[in-house]
Amino acid sequence: MERLVDVAPGVRLWAEDLPATGPDPEPEPVLLVMGANASGLVWPDALVDRLAERHRVIRYDHRDTGRSTWAFDEHPYAVTDLAADVVAVLDAFDVPRAHLVGMSMGGTLVQLVLLDAPGRVATATVFCTAALGGYGSPDLPAPPAELLALWEHLADPRDAPAELDWRVAHWRALSGTGTPFDAEEFRALERRVIAHAGRHDNPAAHARAAQTGLDRGAELAAVEVPTLVVEAPEDPINPPPHSGHLARALGRGRLVRIPGMGHAITRTVVAPLAAAILTQTTLTPTAGAVAAQDPQR
């Protein structure tokens, strides 16, 4: 089921609610939170299908992506507003609590929800992301210069064929060298994303969104929601030791590593990533169970 969700005056998000395909009569929901400037359709169908064997799966387009409202210049916002959108999507689907899965900036948004609305989160899984406030530390590397140079052209005007070529080249840079890169896999993905949005331009709105309110890394130690941090060793944006730093910073964080994974969900990592997420969502005692044992919580 697809629907539009009102999250702010003049701002609507496209969202999709996919029913579970397994035998559980009351499957717990999973909300997928994608990275910066990326539509919810970047979540591969193969991964969504694996998760749907056990869960109701909800994915959505951030503001200024996909079929959601594109109006940053008229309605500027902060990254923290995108975190509030996560909760607004749960509200729209009458979901009191869900398992959250966040990639890249989506992992940042999940961390903010863990701090500000922990009761809405059963478990969390984040990957290809950094701890809140983590950048700027001499012990945590920044993205390489060649990737930063590529990002300088993120919002350059291009015709549709040139934009498609740029996006494939970008995915190649993000994927790293740990697994073979299939350009046609990502060309097909981006053709679908462009068709879904009905436009090929990219205003890079999330790169312009205000960064205020993100320096909250010290608060992560108080997070009691079980959180899995998936380490992608070939990730050029948030390479090790970012993932280990985040796992240690969280009150109930744990770390798993998917060999060869970069900053992309390639066909080769779908199976291990799905297995890691499902282990977290189906076998991990939830924060609700912990809270039930502690009436003061």
Active site residues: 104, 235, 263
Helix (H, G, I), strand (E, B) or coil at 20: coil
Pseudo-torsion of CA 114, 118, 121, 127, nearest 10°?
A: 10
In the sheet that holds 2-8, the strands lie side by side as 2-8, 11-18, 56-60, 29-33, 98-103, 121-127, 227-231, 253-257
Strand boundaries in the chain, DSSP class E: 2-8, 11-18, 29-33, 56-60, 98-103, 121-127, 227-231, 253-257
User: How far is residue 234's CA from residue 264's CA, in Å, rounded to a whole number?
Assistant: 10
Q: Which two structure tokens, joined as six digits, stand for 118?
A: 């922990």
DSSP 32: E
